[in-house]
Amino acid sequence: MATYTPMIQQYLKIKANYQDAFLFFRLGDFYEMFFDDAINASQELEITLTSRDGGGEDRIPMCGVPHHSAPNYIEQLITKGYKVAICEQTEDPKQAKGVVRREVVQLITPGTVMDGKAIQDKENNYIASVTVFDSQFGLALSDLTTGENLVAICASFDELLNEIYSVGAKEVVISNEFPESLKKQLVDRCQATLSYQLDTNTTTKFEVILNQVTDERLVKTFDRLLTYLERTQKRSLDHLQQVKVYYLQDAMKIDLYSKRNLELTETIRSKGKKGSLLWLLDETKTAMGARLLKQWVDKPLVDRSKIEERLLMVETLIANYFEREDLRQLLKEVYDLERLAGRVAFGNVNARDLIQLKKSLQQVPEIEKLCLTLQKEGYFSQQLDACVDLAMLLEEAIVETPPLSIKEGSIIKDGYHSQLDQYRDASRNGKTWIAQLEQQERQKTGIKSLKIGYNKIFGYFIEVSRANLHLLEEGVYERKQTLSNAERYITPDLKEKESLILEAEEKIVELEYQLFVDIREKVKNYIPRLQGLAKHLSKLDALQCFATVSENRHYCKPNFSSNGELSIKDGRHPVVEKVMDSQEYVPNDCSFNHDRGMLLITGPNMSGKSTYMRQVALTSIMAQIGCYVPATKAVLPIFDQIFTRIGAADDLISGQSTFMVEMLEAKNAIAHATSQSLILFDEIGRGTSTYDGMALAQAIIEHIHEFIGAKTLFSTHYHELTVLEEQLHSLNNIHVKAIEENGRVVFLHKIEEGAADKSYGIHVAELADLPSSLIKRAKEILTELEKEKTEAIPVKTKDIVKEETFSDSDSQLSLFPVEKQASNKGQQIPKKEQAAIELLKSLNLLEMTPLDAMNELYQLQKKVKS
C-alpha cells in the first residue's frame, strides 16, 4: 500500500492537533488546505478545489490562497464563526534536510481575532470561558484587543446566557465535561463558537493580574481562559489588565428578551445599531468612549449614589458649554489607546500608529486643564497621566508622516541617533558629490543635456544623447546600456561613490528598523499607564456624550424617589421622537404611586400604547445609566429589574412559536420580578384564542397585583379587562385618546385616565387601504356584534354571534342579520331601514374610493339612526 509523502504526513500530524480549525499550511507563497478542509474551504470561500498526488492511493483534495491575500480569507472564515490555524515554515528551506519544519504559530478564532472587519471600533470583542460549579457558573471574559478582563459568578444558567448574550461574546471556552444540553443552548441562544480547554495551568507570570480575585472558582475559570489564550496565540499577552470581579446584582437586570424588545443596542428588525437607544445616545468622539457607552447601556446602575455621581458630572458638563465643546474637540484627536496597547503587546504597530499615539497624548494636558476648570464645580477630580516622557520620545524620534511599512526607513527623525545621522550624512554627501559630478562632466564635455541618473538594475549612470556621443573622450566611459536615442555609461569614480551611498542607505534602513523596534519595546512599558489613561478618557467621553445629547434633545435631570413613586411629566420616547421630528411627538405623563401600581392601557391600534410603555422603560434606563431623560420633569424609583413582553417579535433563532416565546417571557417576569421591578406587558395573550388569551391576561394581572407588586404597564385589546379596575385596588385604567372626525379615526397619541370606549381596529384597516367593500362588511359585522354584546356577558358574546352570523349559508342574509331576525319573527322591517338597505344595494363598491365609502356609510347610518 502506498504511503503518504513526508510532507502530507507532516500535514496530518499537525492537523491532528487542530481538528476544529482550518489548517492554513504554508507552502512557498501559498497557504494550502487539504482533504476535508480543502473541500469545506473551497465552498465557504468560493475558491477552486483542485487535487494533488500525496503518495496515497487517491489524489488528495486541495485548495489554497496566496499568502499576501490570506488576511482577507481568514477574516471571512472567522466572521462565519470558524477557527483558522496558521502553520508556517519555521526553518529556512535552503537549510532544511528533508521536509522543511513547520509549526502552527497562531490559532485565530472569533474570540481572539485582533484586526480586520471582524473587529468593530465601537464594540468590545469578548471571548468567554465558563465553568460549572454545582448550580452556579463561573464566567470569565477577556477582550484581547483591549486587554480588559472580567470575572463574575452567575447564579443560574439563564443569568449566564444573559451575560454572554449582552456582552456579545463570540466564543466560549469550556471543558470537555460541560453538559451537552447547556452547550446547545450556548450555541443557539448566544451564537457562540465553542472551544475546549482541559487543563488550567497558566504561567505564574500572570498571577499578578489575578491579585484581586479571591474566589477560587473565578480563578479557575479565568485560568482556563488564559491557558487557552496562551496556547492559541503563542505570543506576548503583556497588555492583559488586572482581572476585575463584577457582581451581577450591581446592575439593573434586563433579561435577554427585554433587551431585545426595548431595542437598547440593536433593533429587532434589522439587528443593526441604527434606531436603538445606543444609536440615539452615541455622541462619543472616541472608539473607547463608544465602547464604554455600550457597556453602560447594557448595565444600568442600581446604586443611587453612583447614578447621582454620573448625573452630577453630566450636569456640570451641560452647565459649561464652552468647556464641553473644547473637550469634544480634543477628544476627537484621541486615538484608540486601548486597542493600540493591545497591538503594541502583539508587536504589530507601525510608525503611523505611534504618531497617532503621540498626537493623542499631546491632547491630554489640555484635557486635564479643562477638567481642572470643571473641578471647581466638583466631581472632576481625576488626575490624567499624559505619559509626557513617552510623548517626548515619540516627538524626538519619529517623523510626522512616516510610511506604512516599518522596514523601508524614512521613519526616524534626524538628530535622534548619531550613528543614523552619520549614515545619512554619507548618503547625502555622496548624492551632493554626484550632483557636482554632473556639473563637472557637462563642462568637461560641453554636453548640456548630459545627466546622471539612477535605476535599480544598473545603479548610477551618465546618460548622453546619441547626437552628442562624439563629444565624449575615448576610453574614459564604460558603456552599460543602450537606449533608442541615448547611451548610458559608468566610470570607476561614479561606481565607487555609488557603493558608498548604497551601503549607507542599506545601513540606514537596517538601523531605522532596529531603532523603531526599540521604540516599540519602550512603548510596551507604558501599556498599563496608557490603559489607565484610556479609562479616564473614555469615561469623560461617555459623560460629555450624555451632556451633549441631553442638551440637544432638551432632556431633564431625573430625581429619585425612595417610596416607589414614579412621576414623569411630558415624557417622550427618545428614539421615536428623534426619528419623527420632535414637533410632532405628543408628550405624555405617567405616574405610579402606592395606590396606583398597575396601569391597564386600552386604545386603538396604532394609537401609541406600545410606544408609551417603552418610553417609560427607556426613561428609567436612561436615568439609571446617568443620563438626563426625555421629559420636562421626572421623579423615578430605582428599578432593580425591567421585564418586557412587547409586540409579536418572533424568536426565529430558537425556532419557538410566538406564543411560546410570549409565555416564556411572561414566566421570566413573573418568576423574578420584585416590588422594585418594572414590568411591561404589551397585548399579552394575543397569540392564542380569545378566551384563552383573555383568561391568561386576567390571571397574570391578578397574580402581579396580589403577589408581586411590581410597577406594571399592561396594554390590552381586551376591553373586557377594564372592569378589573373595580376589583383590584391598585389597578388603574388609562387609554390613548382617539377621536372620530368625519367618520375617520384621528389618533391624538394622548394618554388619558379611564378606559377607551372602543377599539377602532377597522379604522386602522381602512388606513391600511384594505378594499372598501371589505371594510364596509367589517363595520356591519362589528355593529351587529356590539349590539349582541350588550345583551349577554361580555366574554361569550362574540362567539355566539359569530356562529349565528356565519352559519347561514345565504351570504346575502348573513350580511343583514337584522333583516334575518326580523323576518324570522314575521315582523316588518322598519321603513327607514328598508330604505337604507335599498340604498346599500345600489352602491357600486368597486368604483368607490375609501373616502366615498365612508361618506356613504355615514349617510346610511344617519338614515337608520334618525
Residue closer to ligand ADP, measured from CB, 586 or 765: 586
Minimum distance of ligand ADP from residue 570's CB (angstroms): 10
Minimum distance of ligand ADP from residue 689's CB (angstroms): 21
For ligand ADP, the nearest residue by Cβ is 608
What is the spatial distance between Cα 312 and Cα 55, in angstroms, rounded to a whole number? 74
φ/ψ of 169, rounded to 5, equals -65, 135
Is residue 522 annotated as involved in ligand binding? no
608 binds, among Mg ion, ligand ADP, none (CB under 5 to 8 A by kind): ligand ADP
Q: In which element (H, E) is residue 265 found?
A: none
By CB under 6 A, residue 83 contacts ligand ADP: no
* Closest-CA residue to 105 (of 14, 222, 10, 226): 14
Residue closer to ligand ADP, measured from CB, 241 or 605: 605
Grid cell for residue 724 = 378589573
Grid cell for residue 197 = 480547554
Is residue 603 annotated as involved in ligand binding? yes
29 binds, among ligand ADP, Mg ion, none (CB under 5 to 8 A by kind): none
Minimum distance of ligand ADP from residue 586's CB (angstroms): 4
Choosing from 105, 119, 384, 586, the residue that interacts with ligand ADP (CB under 6 A) is 586
Angle at 589 between CA 585 and CA 592, to 5 degrees: 150
On whether the CB atoms of residues 95 and 207 are closer than 8 A, the answer is no
φ/ψ of 102, rounded to 5, equals -130, 145
Binding segment (CB under 5 A) for Mg ion, from list 378-386, 481-489, 609-617, 778-786:
609-617
Q: Which DSSP state fits 149?
A: E
Binding segment (CB under 6 A) for ligand ADP, from list 149-157, 202-210, 507-515, 608-616:
608-616
* Closest-CA residue to 258 (of 273, 268, 248): 268
Burial class (CB in 10 A: 0-12, 13-18, 19+), 665: buried
By CB under 6 A, residue 605 contacts ligand ADP: yes
Binders in 741-770 for ligand ADP, by CB under 6 A: 749
What is the spatial distance between Cα 837 and Cα 822, in angstroms, rounded to a whole number? 14
What is the spatial distance between Cα 747 and Cα 739, in angstroms, rounded to a whole number? 7
Grid cell for residue 108 = 485565530
By CB under 6 A, residue 344 contacts ligand ADP: no
By CB under 6 A, residue 606 contacts ligand ADP: yes
| Three-class DSSP category at 731 | strand
Which residues partner with 52 through β-bridges? 60
On whether the CB atoms of residues 238 and 342 are closer than 8 A, the answer is no
Which residues partner with 460 through β-bridges? 454
On whether the CB atoms of residues 124 and 168 are closer than 8 A, the answer is yes
Residue closer to ligand ADP, measured from CB, 41 or 280: 280
Minimum distance of Mg ion from residue 613's CB (angstroms): 8
Binding segment (CB under 6 A) for ligand ADP, from list 94-102, 196-204, 240-248, 604-612:
604-612
111 binds, among Mg ion, ligand ADP, none (CB under 5 to 8 A by kind): none
By CB under 6 A, residue 616 contacts ligand ADP: no
Residue 862 Ramachandran class (φ > 0 left, ψ -120 to 50 alpha, else beta): alpha
What is the spatial distance between Cα 268 and Cα 667, in angstroms, rounded to a whole number? 21
Residue closer to Mg ion, measured from CB, 129 or 715: 715
Minimum distance of Mg ion from residue 661's CB (angstroms): 16
21 binds, among ligand ADP, Mg ion, none (CB under 5 to 8 A by kind): none
Q: How far is CA 467 from the centre of its chain?
A: 70
714 binds, among ligand ADP, Mg ion, none (CB under 5 to 8 A by kind): none
By CB under 6 A, residue 585 contacts ligand ADP: yes
Is residue 300 annotated as involved in ligand binding? no
Is residue 607 annotated as involved in ligand binding? yes
Is residue 606 annotated as involved in ligand binding? yes
Which residues partner with 714 through β-bridges? 600, 681
Binding segment (CB under 6 A) for ligand ADP, from list 82-90, 100-108, 298-306, 584-592:
584-592
By CB under 6 A, residue 261 contacts ligand ADP: no
* Closest-CA residue to 351 (of 409, 392, 424): 409
Minimum distance of ligand ADP from residue 555's CB (angstroms): 16
Choosing from 131, 363, 607, 668, the residue that interacts with ligand ADP (CB under 6 A) is 607
Grid cell for residue 39 = 473541500
Residue closer to Mg ion, measured from CB, 257 or 546: 257
Is residue 563 annotated as involved in ligand binding? no
Choosing from 273, 609, 711, 737, the residue that interacts with ligand ADP (CB under 6 A) is 609
Choosing from 109, 550, 610, 698, the residue that interacts with Mg ion (CB under 5 A) is 610
Minimum distance of Mg ion from residue 717's CB (angstroms): 9
585 binds, among Mg ion, ligand ADP, none (CB under 5 to 8 A by kind): ligand ADP
Residue closer to Mg ion, measured from CB, 601 or 815: 601
By CB under 6 A, residue 339 contacts ligand ADP: no
Binding segment (CB under 6 A) for ligand ADP, from list 406-414, 519-527, 576-584, 858-866:
576-584
What is the spatial distance between Cα 721 and Cα 700, in angstroms, rounded to a whole number? 12
CA atoms within 13 A on the CB side of 524: 16
Q: Cell 439587528 appears where?
A: 271
Q: How far is CA 424 from CA 105, 449, 697, 785, in A?
A: 37, 29, 83, 96
What is the spatial distance between Cα 65 and Cα 77, in angstroms, rounded to a whole number? 13
**Count of positions on this chain that bind ligand ADP (CB under 6 A):** 15
On whether the CB atoms of residues 230 and 207 are closer than 8 A, the answer is no
Residue closer to Mg ion, measured from CB, 165 or 585: 585
Residue closer to ligand ADP, measured from CB, 102 or 260: 260
β 711-715/598-602 pair status: parallel
Edge to edge, what strands does the sheet with 126-133 contain?
Answer: 193-196, 171-174, 126-133, 136-143, 148-154, 243-245
By CB under 6 A, residue 602 contacts ligand ADP: no
733 binds, among ligand ADP, Mg ion, none (CB under 5 to 8 A by kind): none
Burial class (CB in 10 A: 0-12, 13-18, 19+), 218: buried
Grid cell for residue 769 = 387601504
Choosing from 402, 430, 608, 626, the residue that interacts with ligand ADP (CB under 6 A) is 608
Binding segment (CB under 6 A) for ligand ADP, from list 28-36, 393-401, 457-465, 602-610:
602-610
Binding segment (CB under 6 A) for ligand ADP, from list 112-120, 483-491, 551-559, 598-606:
598-606
Binding segment (CB under 6 A) for ligand ADP, from list 3-11, 12-20, 508-516, 580-588:
580-588
By CB under 6 A, residue 610 contacts ligand ADP: yes
DSSP of 244-261: EE--GGGB-EE-HHHHHH
Residue closer to ligand ADP, measured from CB, 190 or 606: 606
Residue closer to Mg ion, measured from CB, 548 or 610: 610
Grid cell for residue 412 = 526616524
586 binds, among Mg ion, ligand ADP, none (CB under 5 to 8 A by kind): ligand ADP
For the chain, the farthest-separated pair of C-alpha atoms sits apart, in whole angstroms, at 137
Angle at 232 between CA 36 and CA 70, to 5 degrees: 55
Binding mask 518-557 for ligand ADP (x = CB under 6 A): ----------------------------------------
By CB under 6 A, residue 576 contacts ligand ADP: yes
Kindly list the residues in this chain that would bind ligand ADP in the complex (CB under 6 A). Answer: 576, 580, 584-586, 588, 603, 605-611, 749
Which residue positions form the known binding site? 603-610
Which residue positions form the known binding site for ATP? 603-610
Kindly list the residues in this chain that would bind Mg ion in the complex (CB under 5 A). Answer: 610
